[in-house]
A and B are shown apart, each in its own frame.
Chain A
């Protein structure tokens, strides 16, 4: 009935699995990240962007993760809502601050790149705007969870909101593009859409893999922490009743 292997649904087996999986993903992230950074530092300056191009090696992975983390959050929300999976709920809860953090990093690195390249920290370009709205959706999700006294009700309400967000994000994405094309202007800043040269392509790919692995590691650690917290709460409740 539950479309997931036991090490992801059974808390005991998940704890045993994540105990070695979390450090393993962390180690993979460090190795890939070091390789990506080394390739990135040895890459020649771009003929238009000069050394600023190096910001993209950390900007592209965070941008990918800001959306990947939401996909994880929405899938975990669906699992927790439909199959009442407690671990899935912990996973959705753990993914939200990570996703919000990566979204904030995307906005920060993007504006650091935009200052020398576009001459401005911020433009109301379609991509920037939809990233900002994604950040607001993460904030709303975390705020809803934080303001519910009843934890189970809060979890289910947050899961419903996670699914509403998954429904609305593509609509927001396309509406913002529609708005952008209607108003013109920002298309000047588009980088031409040309494919990356191999010398930039490989560091980007390595960094994307490294960041994804780091996200996996952090996510597992946060889920573990959430499982421990719930066990502690349950133990405290038992102790109070005894």
Chain B
């Protein structure tokens, strides 16, 4: 367990410290949230109608940003080879990478999500729910995104490829999260969507590392 926590600390520090870390993702998120009203028009009624959905989609896009460095950095400097030699299974190493990614960019993005939604016109009462959805959805984004990042190791234009592979995997959490937020706003029961979002995130926390490890072994072979 202490090995895993050491790994987790390493991955979080790397995701936090290198290449801008959470600043890049949060900055991108703020940029998209700013562009939306410029494209759609400043009328508060129209913006308020799309606020939760727009904040949610922008969150999914912002979580794509730092994915391409998730495995590539360690792949290029040979650290990934060393990590496969350690007694920690590669699956657990991949899980630590994704948890680190989530702590360093998913959590700051989740803190920014209510701000963006309220700036776009969502009511203040949405804050706890969008924060919870963004934290859990961020977990799903990190673990499905990790699959795409690991698969595109060694590919030309890896970053763009990761996005193409990962976006279909993002559709269920985008649907569930968006559904939860709009159901809450129209006073409908929202727990079903929330439970489905949690289930999706947990399923990929469990299954994602298997696929990531297989992809890493293939890239290193």
Contacts and interface: CB of A to CB of B under 8 A. Distances in A.
B134 to A, nearest CB: 18
Interface stretch (A67-75, A107-115, A148-156): A148-156
Contacts of B214: 160
A104 B183 CA distance: 33
A176 interface: yes
B151 A161 contact: yes
| Interface band, chain B | 20 to 34
B156 interface: yes
A172 B219 contact: no
B179 A179 contact: yes
Contacts of B153: 157
B215 A160 contact: yes
Contacts of B179: 178-179, 182
A140 B164 contact: yes
Contact of A178 (B154, B164, B196): B196
Q: Is the interface of A mostly helix, strand, loop or mixed?
A: helix
B80 interface: no
Contact of A153 (B169, B171, B196, B219): B219
A168 B171 CA distance: 10
A232 interface: no
Contacts of B183: 182
A31 interface: no
Given A147-B152, A160-B211, A168 B169 contact: yes
Interface residues of A, number: 29
A149 B161 CA distance: 14
Q: Is the interface of B mostly helix, strand, loop or mixed?
A: helix
Interface string A161-190: 101110110011001101100100000000
Interface stretch (A17-25, A89-97, A131-139, A207-215): A131-139
B193 interface: yes
Interface string B129-159: 0000000000000000001000111111110
A149 B219 CA distance: 12
Contacts of A160: 151, 211, 214-215, 218
A144 B154 CA distance: 10
B29 interface: no
Given A168-B169, A179-B175, A143 B161 contact: yes
Nearest to B215: A160
Contacts of A140: 164-165, 167-168
Interface in B157-182: 157-158, 161, 164-165, 167-169, 171-172, 175-176, 178-179
A171 B152 contact: no
A164 B169 contact: yes
Contacts of B147: 164
B86 interface: no
Most A CB within 10 A of own CB, among B155, B167, B211: B155
10 contacts: A139-B164, A140-B168, A143-B161, A153-B218, A153-B221, A163-B211, A171-B200, A172-B172, A178-B176, A178-B193
Given A147-B161, A153-B221, A157-B155, 16 more contacts: A136-B164, A140-B164, A140-B167, A140-B168, A143-B165, A147-B155, A147-B156, A148-B156, A150-B154, A153-B219, A154-B155, A157-B218, A164-B169, A171-B172, A171-B200, A182-B193
